[in-house]
Every structure is written in C-alpha cells, then in structure tokens.
Amino acid sequence: MLTKERTLEVEHQATTMSISTIAKQLQANLGQALTAHLAGLADSRQIGRIGRGEHRPQPSTAKRLREGYKAVSMIAELYDWETAKAWLFGTNTRLDDQAPVEVLGSATTDEEFTDVARAAKQFASADG
C-alpha cells in the first residue's frame, strides 16, 4: 500500500524537481513517445530537448509533465513502471471512462489534474 508519507514525498518531488529531471525520468521509464503524448506534445523529440535542458516547455506542458510524473510515480512505487504505463492507457471510471494519458495530454484545469491524481491514488491503494 502506498503510505500517506510516501504520497507526500512523491508530490513534493513532482513540485521541486527540475522539469528536465522529470522529463528524463519519464522518458527513461515510459519512453519518449508516451511521455510526449502525456505532455500534450505532437513532436516527441521535444521531450529529449527538455530532458537535456535545451528547451524550456510552456507552463501547460510543464504542468502536464509534473502531474504525469506524480501519478505514474505513485503507481510505480507500489507496483512497477510497466504497470504504471499500462494504467495510463486503461479506461478509468474516475475519468469518465477516458484513459489517464488522454486526460493528462489535454488537461488545462486543476480539476482535471486532481482527478488524475485521485485515480492514481485509488489504484495504488490497498483496495486498488
């Protein structure tokens, strides 16, 4: 079970880590194309440039990367990155039967990001 303390640590990391580190970690664990899709980017090469610090993403892209990192890290913490990757593609009743990657890739409101985080926490719970 994902503890409240570890959840808070993951949330803190997602907030304080550099965006290049987040992009690198997501790219290493999810792949460049999936990370770009999660961030709402059409050109997956931008993830590599962000990860190398060559490109500063738009605020909305950075938010999607941070929130995506938070969600998948909670799942990877309890299971593994392959499970987190599969979770991104599965339809989710907490997200109106949309896949989390689709919600993240187009999210613009705090409510959408909160819904994804809540769905990830639910999945990573003992009942998940």
State pLDDT tens for residues 59-68.
Answer: 999 999 999 9
Q: What pTM value is reported for the model?
A: 0.93
State pLDDT tens for residues 88-119.
Answer: 999 999 999 999 999 999 999 999 999 999 99
| Per-residue three-class SS string for the chain | CCCHHHHHHHHHHHHHCCHHHHHHHHHHHHCHHHHHHHHCCCCCHHHHHHHCCCCCCCHHHHHHHHHHHHHHHHHHHHCCHHHHHHHHHCCEHHHCCECHHHHHHHCCCHHHHHHHHHHHHHHCCCCC
Arithmetic mean of pLDDT, 35-63: 97
